[in-house]
A and B are shown apart, each in its own frame.
Chain A
């Protein structure tokens, strides 16, 4: 009787408080956004959007979702109250990924087939500036102080630092082959940039623009070529980073102090990008080939569940 009671108590303590939120997953192949309930992980609705939705970003007020519909060559705005696309914003050819300014009024969009970053004024609904960068720009991030934007160009294998005031590239850092994603640390001092083909993550000093460290991954059971670093998520406390390793079907857990890989977590096939739950207890990652989303318990560092979503899930966002 006693162990049963103890187990029950453990279960009650372990269960998270009710906290309603929704998860949005962009499905590259069936041109939809899958909306899931954060609590039950059931699909609430599947919303049809433009062709080939990839990068998705939540607006600062949490009321809309910006969607890069790459093959439709524009950005759609999904109203999260009605779950309908109520606005279309312009873009150049093949928008793939974007970052939102800290005031929530400007989108910096990487136009993959145009070798430029376009600066999109959201209230006006027009492109106010174009910044030439390397070939095939993709990863985009805005610094915490809002003064710098970084862009990774896949073919040039560079991370470009863009000054927001002048809309010019102030520095370009050569990193591992095919960089696809970049993110600033919370203090704004470092940029983590993942390279898909090299299978590495470069940690760049945001002020001196020097590479401070390169993280390598190795999994004995996975061929080296399959280790393709893409999405990166760093916890709010800045202590742990999760790197999605694409066709290695693993998410690497990195201790940000030692920069050592602590653990590899087995997820679905070809993991692309991830997003934390609002309380940071869970990390959701989109698996592009196995058409599902894996749920990682951030504290326990365990994959607790994988749930099916649409065809070729790519981007992921969580709205409280």
Chain B
């Protein structure tokens, strides 16, 4: 394998990456239902859920905001996070599907190292999620979610970082899931708790007033930091602590994913052992 790898030129690496991204993009475009649901979900939250709380948050100023904001404006970065969270779980779901259908084996027998293939998958998922976020932001503009023009550019690195972190979490989870039907459980036990115990829906100080335990959970929640990173970047500010926390979680999740996907060491080996195929 190493000899084959040595002969592979840089172009071959790129071809491989492009292939992975292209496949992910085609899959996204091909599944119209998935495309629509990814768009409709945050818009429902914005238009219906946020409408009921329109006046609630117009009472205090929290950074990065410099003045009073309606609830829709507060919830928007949380919904961007939601788009990325669902996108990452969706690509994790597709990895489980690939594994069950056998196309994952096809990918893993390529001459490229496992870490490269997995991060390639990860980048492909992030690219798709970022396209979804910008479509959401374009529609949200009509609901008066209008961050400064330069904020649309500044949010890009935050989206990449947050997307990678959430994607790595998805990869890790998909490596631990045995079968497709278990994924519904992951939705309930991972996605919803992560979303609700974060700063996506209410500022952390509100949570601190209500329950200290909940507040601590929200502080430790990687999704909180992903949302805050996006929120600050959208308003051309940097959230250094959140950036650090997101990077740390990314490293942990990615290392875990690479470890568990290794047939020589991880769970996959045990599952795909000689007796099973």
- Please give the residue numbers on chain A whose beta carbons come within 8 Å of chain B beta carbons, in ascending order: 3-4, 7, 10-11, 221-222, 249, 266-269, 290, 294-295, 303-306
Contact A11 B150 (CB under 8 A): yes
Asked if B55 lies at the interface with its beta carbon under 8 angstroms from chain A, I say yes
Which secondary structure dominates chain A's binding surface? mixed
- How far, in Å, is B53 (CB) from chain A's closest CB? 10
Contact B67 A7 (CB under 8 A): no
Contact A7 B153 (CB under 8 A): yes
A221-B55, A266-B58, A306-B61 known; A4 vs B67 contact (CB < 8 Å): no
Contact B68 A10 (CB under 8 A): no
- How far, in Å, is A266 (CB) from chain B's closest CB? 5
- Please give the residue numbers on chain B whose beta carbons come within 8 Å of chain A beta carbons, in ascending order: 54-55, 58-59, 61, 66-70, 149-150, 153
Give how many A-B residue pairs fall within 8 Å (CB-CB).
36
* Across the A-B interface, the 6 shortest Cβ-Cβ residue pairs: A305-B66, A306-B67, A7-B150, A303-B67, A266-B68, A221-B55
Contact B67 A3 (CB under 8 A): no
- How far, in Å, is B235 (CB) from chain A's closest CB? 11
In Å, the complex CA distance between A46 and B99 comes to: 69
- How far, in Å, is A11 (CB) from chain B's closest CB? 7
* A-chain residues with CB within 8 Å of residue B66 when the two chains form the complex: 304-306
* A-chain residues with CB within 8 Å of residue B70 when the two chains form the complex: 266
Contact B54 A305 (CB under 8 A): no
In Å, the complex CA distance between A274 and B7 comes to: 73
- How far, in Å, is A306 (CB) from chain B's closest CB? 4
A266-B69, A303-B67 known; A221 vs B149 contact (CB < 8 Å): no
* B-chain residues with CB within 8 Å of residue A267 when the two chains form the complex: 67-68
Residue of chain A at shortest CB distance from B69: A266
Contact A10 B149 (CB under 8 A): yes
- How far, in Å, is A84 (CB) from chain B's closest CB? 32
Residue of chain B at shortest CB distance from A292: B61
Contact B58 A7 (CB under 8 A): no
* B-chain residues with CB within 8 Å of residue A222 when the two chains form the complex: 55
- How far, in Å, is B110 (CB) from chain A's closest CB? 34
In Å, the complex CA distance between A89 and B187 comes to: 72
Contact A268 B68 (CB under 8 A): yes
Residue of chain B at shortest CB distance from A295: B67
A249-B68, A294-B67, A303-B67 known; A269 vs B59 contact (CB < 8 Å): yes
* A-chain residues with CB within 8 Å of residue B149 when the two chains form the complex: 7, 10
Residue of chain A at shortest CB distance from B67: A306
Residue of chain B at shortest CB distance from A268: B68
A267-B67, A294-B67 known; A10 vs B150 contact (CB < 8 Å): yes
In Å, the complex CA distance between A113 and B58 comes to: 35
Contact A306 B68 (CB under 8 A): yes
* B-chain residues with CB within 8 Å of residue A303 when the two chains form the complex: 67-68
In Å, the complex CA distance between A266 and B67 comes to: 9
Residue of chain B at shortest CB distance from A269: B59
* B-chain residues with CB within 8 Å of residue A3 when the two chains form the complex: 153
- How far, in Å, is B151 (CB) from chain A's closest CB? 10
- How far, in Å, is A41 (CB) from chain B's closest CB? 10
Contact B67 A305 (CB under 8 A): yes
In Å, the complex CA distance between A267 and B59 comes to: 9
Contacts beyond the supplied A10-B149, A304-B66, A306-B67: 14 A-B pairs with Cβ under 8 Å: A7-B149, A10-B150, A221-B55, A222-B55, A266-B58, A267-B67, A267-B68, A269-B59, A294-B67, A303-B67, A304-B67, A305-B66, A305-B67, A306-B61
A-B CB contact pairs (8 Å), 12 listed? A4-B153, A7-B150, A10-B149, A11-B150, A249-B58, A266-B67, A266-B70, A268-B68, A304-B67, A306-B66, A306-B67, A306-B68
* B-chain residues with CB within 8 Å of residue A294 when the two chains form the complex: 67-68
Residue of chain B at shortest CB distance from A7: B150
* A-chain residues with CB within 8 Å of residue B69 when the two chains form the complex: 266
Residue of chain B at shortest CB distance from A219: B55
* B-chain residues with CB within 8 Å of residue A4 when the two chains form the complex: 153
In Å, the complex CA distance between A4 and B152 comes to: 11
* A-chain residues with CB within 8 Å of residue B153 when the two chains form the complex: 3-4, 7
Residue of chain B at shortest CB distance from A41: B66
Residue of chain A at shortest CB distance from B154: A7
- How far, in Å, is B253 (CB) from chain A's closest CB? 30
* A-chain residues with CB within 8 Å of residue B59 when the two chains form the complex: 269, 290
- How far, in Å, is A224 (CB) from chain B's closest CB? 15
* B-chain residues with CB within 8 Å of residue A304 when the two chains form the complex: 66-67
* B-chain residues with CB within 8 Å of residue A269 when the two chains form the complex: 59
In Å, the complex CA distance between A4 and B149 comes to: 12
In Å, the complex CA distance between A4 and B154 comes to: 9
In Å, the complex CA distance between A268 and B67 comes to: 8
In Å, the complex CA distance between A204 and B60 comes to: 38
In Å, the complex CA distance between A214 and B150 comes to: 41
- How far, in Å, is A83 (CB) from chain B's closest CB? 27
The interface centre, meaning the residue of A4, A222, A268 with most chain B CB atoms within 10 A of its CB, is A268
In Å, the complex CA distance between A249 and B59 comes to: 10
* B-chain residues with CB within 8 Å of residue A266 when the two chains form the complex: 58, 67-70
* A-chain residues with CB within 8 Å of residue B55 when the two chains form the complex: 221-222
In Å, the complex CA distance between A221 and B69 comes to: 14
In Å, the complex CA distance between A4 and B150 comes to: 9
- How far, in Å, is A296 (CB) from chain B's closest CB? 9
In Å, the complex CA distance between A266 and B60 comes to: 12
* A-chain residues with CB within 8 Å of residue B150 when the two chains form the complex: 7, 10-11
The interface centre, meaning the residue of B58, B67, B149 with most chain A CB atoms within 10 A of its CB, is B67
* A-chain residues with CB within 8 Å of residue B54 when the two chains form the complex: 221
In Å, the complex CA distance between A84 and B77 comes to: 47
